[in-house]
Structure 1
Amino acid sequence: AELFQPGLQLVEPNFFNQMTTVHGLIMVFGAVMPAFTGLANWLIPMMIGAPDMALPRMNNWSFWILPFAFTILLSSLFMEGGGPNFGWTFYAPLSTTYSPDSTALFVFSIHIMGISSIMGAINVIVTIVNLRAPGMTWMKLPLFVWTWLITAFLLIAVMPVLAGAVTMVLTDKFFGTSFFEAA
């Protein structure tokens, strides 16, 4: 209804952009990734004949830092200037030039969610490699376990790159660097 016709319908344009940004990051980092990790925590031990995940304390820690990161993400909406309004993709000209100061909290929460994802991925890899039942060879692993093994390696490879990119956005905004400026 808001975008059906031009002009102001229900909410201010800046608030609409803030909600779009927060919705995108909550769905990706606060819902989809933790849900898939939870599914892996539930199914992988059963599929490989393990009693539980290999690193239960790391598993617990990766779960319990998510509400902390989620709280920081949502608290950025209540800072002066409002929440980030540049879209969930951190589109560089908008995120470095026109974003409010709450961008720092936003980036910090993404770093914490990334740490949670990396810890979950490490736990999945260690569980698959070390806790397979006797006789469960690599070729007998179910396809779901193989996909999670590959996904875990990809998460470990990609999350630091994402953290570096959003940190570069942050340094462009607050320290005047020029990582994302056009020539």
Structure 2
Amino acid sequence: MQKMIEKEFLSHIDIAKLTFDKIKDKLEEASSLVVETLKNGNKVLICGNGGSAADAQHIATEIVCKYKTVRKGYPAIALTTDTSIITAVSNDFGYEMVFKRQIEALANKNDLVIGISTSGNSENIVNALKYAKEIGCKTLGFSGNDGGEIDKYCDINLIVPSNNTPRIQELHILFGHIICQIVDDSCC
């Protein structure tokens, strides 16, 4: 069991080091994009599936409530939480439209849409980011592998260069935490 634990830790460390070298400048740009959005009175809308849905909720909570610093709450919405909307849109329009439809209803020009997809190819995330760009939103992706299809629709795409889903998810929440720390430091 100890060998498996060590293997998992070392895998995380290796992928984290590789990712940091590739995205440190983009992560700074992404953090500035979130801060700029909030300082300008716009909101952040976040979407993802499965574990990425949980990450969307986690990040939205940190922005609305607080990360580490008690400060004013800022507008962030996880588009993954309203089961009535999710099931109605899925039933009436198809699951591939579940986030696009919410963006259509809730987003304004210059809001920021964050799409989280470990593969970068989730059809509902692609549709959401594509539509967000069409209506003048800023777009940020958290993805893995080579960035996938969402890369075409992201102003910035934070790509974990791996196909190991757990490692990608671990780094996505780290990206979210770093961004939230910068929000705490910059928006107070």
State the TM-score, normalizing by the size of structure 1.
0.31
Greater share of strand: 2
